[in-house]
Structure 1
Amino acid sequence: MFRKYGFLGILLIILVEINFILKIEPFATWYFPIIWYGYILLIDALIFKTKGSSYLSNKPKQFIFMIIFSAVVWWMFEGINMALGNWRYIGTSGLASQQMKLIFGTISFSTVIPAVFETAEFLKSLHIFDKIKLKKSHNINKSLVYLMSFLGIVCLVFSATFPVFFFPLIWLAFFLMLDPFNYLHKKPSIIGHLKDRRLTIPIALFVGATVCGFLWEFWNYWAVIKWTYSIPFVDFFRVFEMPVLGYLGYGPFGWELYAMYYFVAGLFFDKNKKLIKI
């Protein structure tokens, strides 16, 4: 059954699309959270239709946690971008005060993880990647796991210290740091899936984040409040505002969000084993 809130999601997306032309305020300014919560409602309803359960319908407390954590995570990336200088926002004059910009940013950033995880879960529910497996299982020794975490720290330090040359490493740093920790503590991890030859979730996350990345850039291009990029060496052949090579970062970003989510969510939900599983 397709949940009724899915129709609300469709309506919100259509209204925002129309308003890209009409530019009626305050909806033109607040387009980002409106269209992305519309997208989340739509995809969640599709998930419920395909598998009979969904995040929003069956795990509302964890879904709320996901929203809150998403805002925290992206504010952290905004802080990192102060060193990187890879993107900036324009057209924010419609937000009258710093407090309003803070509210707008927090609500907008709260959609990032839900959008990626919902998209990945929808792809997973279609079973299109189920038959894709590694030919053999692999033993993951602790030396390799510790090396990954060390490389993650190196990536974070280098991207923040020498951003002109190493800025792309930020989209791998937290994955390399935290996924090994999750694996060692028997939490869901990309390493664990690869060890067991299962590629459904890694591929669904990679593709799901890339789909969201394309939609972020597509909807951003027509918006009043939007971000633009300044990316060393690869700032050519833009697709919307993003240089085409920049889209390569969205897939690993999905793995990074997965690692960060389970690293933190495990602290809150491990006792009851009620983690949001994707």
Structure 2
Amino acid sequence: MTTLRKTTYLLLAILAIFVLPWVGASIQYQDQFPPDFFAYPMLSSPQQEAFSWPIFLLFAGLSVAVIVLYLFPRLFGFRAVPQPDYRPAKRVGFPLWFWLGLVSWGGVAVLLWTKATGPAWLLHWSDMPLFWGFALMIDGWVYVRQEGRSLISRVPQEVIGIGVSSVMGWMLFEYLNFFVEDNWFYPKGDIIDREEFLLYAAVISSGLLPLAFEWYSLFKSIPALRERFSLGPKIVLPEWLKTTALWLSVVLLVLAGLFPAQLFFTLWLTPAILLATVLDKIGVWTPLRPIGQGNWTPALLIALSYLIEGFFIEGQNYFSATHGPNREILYTMAPAYWQYNLPYVNAYHLFEMPLIGYSGYLPFGVYCWLWWIAFATLQGIPSRFFQEAPFQPHKPEPA
């Protein structure tokens, strides 16, 4: 397939993610959107559907099945993999950027969690040092475990590239959030003006996708995880089923705009499904392809990356504010402090996130890798993540 055709199909897929929810919502509102429909940041969320035990239990059952898969993979047909007795050939100390990340992340976290009132400019932009500082810390940990090898030490330019791609990769979800009636919102977003908040959101989002790849690199450095899922069932989807998945994601993108409460969860699924199927059809490697050989490691570990990171992000968000008896915010200096208002499952919170909501981090982790592959393919950027192991010599995709 020619480069032009690959580029065209990828651009059409990304355009579909932007346009199709708008089409559905336009039909629902008969082209008369509410005045504040696209207001950003969203300072509140409209009343959502009431809690539903059947829907909660359905999602809870699926979440438990995933947990069992990670803990007991042999129940799902995975074979045991002998664990090598790994001992590092040499010991290396933590690199400079680990300590810079620790100071950056730790210093701002202390200011937020102690409810400091200044410096205001730093607290208003706190997510930037928090996200990137944490990424530097994880990379430094990988550096120690991998005997001096990490993403920053080997391919710093790729980390920067992933950060650049992360801006649009996350702001796409901020846009999609409009069409599911603001599942998350920023109740203190008005402590800075809207123009600054938009710039703030774009800049700080550069740190979100790199965190996924840093966690994945850390998981790959742990012998017990590195091969745990490499001998699983071999699943190769027929082309007709891939095409069905492609068109189903297209339909769901439209329907999410028409039925935002009933299909809110598809927000986290359809971008990944659409990108995965299009990338596969144009012959570009994705972390889902090794499943055909029984190797589930890339898919399961990148999914796990944001489930773990999600816990840390939600925790640092929650402790940056003072709360009242009904979970209301009494004080925070973080304009991007977020809360959730999910239909049907908005109960049993862990920090601000409803417990069931954490399951959405799993497909988001896969999306992070797919988005970077799509971005790098469009830009013609050679990437270590066009393969499972980022520290193997790069092998360019065949033309």
Q: TM-score, normalised by structure 2?
A: 0.65
Shift of residue 216 of structure 1?
A: 1.4
Superposed CA RMSD: 1.9
Match of 1:113 in 2: 209
Q: What is the identity, as a one-letter code, of the residue corresponding to 1:29?
A: H
- State the Cα deviation string for residues 165-224 of structure 1 (Å, max 9, x = none): 001011110111111222233323233021121122112111111011111111111223
Match of 2:106 in 1: 14
Percent of aligned positions with the same letter in both sequences?
23
- d(CA) in 2 for partners of 1:204, 1:186: 23
What is the DSSP-based 3-state SS (H/G/I as helix, E as strand, rest coil) of the residue aligned with 1:231? coil
Identify unmatched segments of 5+ residues in structure 1.
none
What is the DSSP-based 3-state SS (H/G/I as helix, E as strand, rest coil) of the residue aligned with 1:117? helix
Match of 1:254 in 2: 365
CA contact (8 A) 1:121 1:204 kept: no
Q: 1:105-254 alignment to 2 at 5 Å? A: 105-129=201-225, 130-223=227-320, 224=332, 225=334, 226-254=337-365
> Which one has the largest radius of gyration?
2
Match of 1:40 in 2: 135
Q: Provide closer, same or farther for how the CA distance between residues 150 and 132 of structure 1 changes in structure 2, counting only shifts above 3 A.
A: same
Q: Provide closer, same or farther for how the CA distance between residues 136 and 167 of structure 1 changes in structure 2, counting only shifts above 3 A.
A: closer
What is the DSSP-based 3-state SS (H/G/I as helix, E as strand, rest coil) of the residue aligned with 2:186? strand
**Range moving further from structure 2, 169-178 or 137-146:** 137-146
Identify unmatched segments of 5+ residues in structure 2.
1-91, 321-331, 391-399
- d(CA) in 2 for partners of 1:126, 1:269: 32
CA contact (8 A) 1:206 1:252 kept: yes
CA contact (8 A) 1:152 1:177 kept: yes
Structure with more helix by fraction: 1
Shift of residue 113 of structure 1?
A: 0.5
Shift of residue 10 of structure 1?
A: 1.2
Shift of residue 134 of structure 1?
A: 4.5
Match of 1:72 in 2: 168
CA contact (8 A) 1:134 1:194 kept: no
CA contact (8 A) 2:288 2:296 kept: no
Q: TM-score, normalised by structure 1?
A: 0.91
Q: What is the identity, as a one-letter code, of the residue corresponding to 2:317?
A: N
Q: Provide closer, same or farther for how the CA distance between residues 60 and 222 of structure 1 changes in structure 2, counting only shifts above 3 A.
A: same
What is the DSSP-based 3-state SS (H/G/I as helix, E as strand, rest coil) of the residue aligned with 2:338? strand
Q: What is the identity, as a one-letter code, of the residue corresponding to 1:33?
A: M
What is the DSSP-based 3-state SS (H/G/I as helix, E as strand, rest coil) of the residue aligned with 1:28? helix
